[in-house]
Amino acid sequence: MIIACASVKGGAGKSTLTVNLASEFLRRKRRVLIVDADPQGTSRVWAEIAAENKLPSPTVIAMGKDMHRPGQLDQVAAAFDVVIIDCPGRDGAVVRAALMMASLVLIPCGASPADAWALQQSLELIDEARCLRPELLAHVVITRRRATTLGKNARTDLHACGVPLLAAELSERVAYQAAMGVGRGVTTMTGQAEAVREIRRLADEVENLFTEKHNANASIPHVA
């Protein structure tokens, strides 16, 4: 499974999605690689803190706009069950390279109008990638959802963008910030039942998408 977390908007929740999915897949005994493609290095620092705190931590490598070239990520990825690419916000060349490698792109998107505008720009990059790779799956994940009118209407408002929305949503929770600071994912923390439910549901949905994709490919008749 190669998953890209991508959105042109800074602070949308790409790194939060990356580290929480990575941590949950590690808990599920998968071999996990994070490709930190953002020079900010959020997921790299998170994994360093995890290792310092003697917590399970994924392998993390830094890669940029050449990751799609033969002998780069393809070679490293073969040794892992799950690869998560934490994309930078504004570097189109790096995001394009990530979209050449990923089978699934998750686009974190908040409920505000600014998020919806940025989403259109993210979708343009994905449309471009799909011209070359029509099999690329793309799903929006509602993040930082609050119990406001905007938050409550987010699903209906974002539905209009034409990209499928995952059923799993991440609410705005201090737990996500606290977990990041100590090198954990929320599903390895105690007393965070709602956040745990959100990430487990997200990981289940992601796994199901790959199972469906695999089954669909397997059912294509082989032409001799």
Ligand X SMILES: Nc1ncnc2c1ncn2[C@@H]1O[C@H](COP(=O)(O)OP(=O)(O)O)[C@@H](O)[C@H]1O
Nearest approach, Cβ of residue 92 and ligand X (Å): 15
Q: Residue 182 or 213: which CB sits closer to ligand X?
A: 182
Residue type, 135: E
User: Other C-beta atoms within 10 Å of 159: how many?
Assistant: 12
- Is the separation of the CB atoms in 143 and 109 below 8 Å? yes
Q: CA–CA separation, 18 vs 20, rounded Å?
A: 6
Q: Is 187 in the site for ligand X (CB under 6 A)?
A: no
Site track 32-71 with Mg ion (rule: CB under 5 A), x = hit: ----------x-----------------------------
Q: Give the one entry of Mg ion, ligand X, none that residue 172 binds, where binding means its C-beta sits below a cut-off of 5 to 8 angstroms depending on kind.
A: ligand X
- Is the separation of the CB atoms in 22 and 32 below 8 Å? yes
Collect all residues with Cβ–Cβ distance below 8 Å to 96 and sequence separation of at least 6. 65, 125, 128, 129
Kindly give the residue spans of alpha helices, DSSP state H, lying in the chain.
Answer: 14-27, 42-52, 73-77, 92-101, 113-132, 149-159, 174-181, 193-218
Among 3, 4, 6, 13, binds ligand X (CB under 6 A): 13
Q: Is 15 in the site for ligand X (CB under 6 A)?
A: yes
Among 144, 183, 184, 199, binds ligand X (CB under 6 A): 144
**The pair of three-digit structure tokens given for residue 172, joined into one six-digit string:** 């705005």
Q: Is 56 in the site for ligand X (CB under 6 A)?
A: no
Q: Is 172 in the site for ligand X (CB under 6 A)?
A: yes
Q: Residue 13 or 183: which CB sits closer to ligand X?
A: 13
Angle between helices 174-181 and 42-52 (to 10 degrees): 60
109 CA to centre of own chain: 11
Q: Residue 171 or 213: which CB sits closer to ligand X?
A: 171
Residue whose C-alpha is closest to residue 8's, from 113, 112, 158, 119? 119
Q: Give the one entry of Mg ion, ligand X, none that residue 188 binds, where binding means its C-beta sits below a cut-off of 5 to 8 angstroms depending on kind.
A: none
Give the Cα-Cα-Cα angle 197, 138, 4 (nearest 5 degrees): 75
Nearest approach, Cβ of residue 65 and Mg ion (Å): 17
Q: Is 176 in the site for ligand X (CB under 6 A)?
A: yes
- Residues engaged in binding ligand X (CB under 6 A): 7, 10-16, 42, 89, 143-144, 170, 172-173, 176-177, 180
- Residues engaged in binding Mg ion (CB under 5 A): 14-15, 42
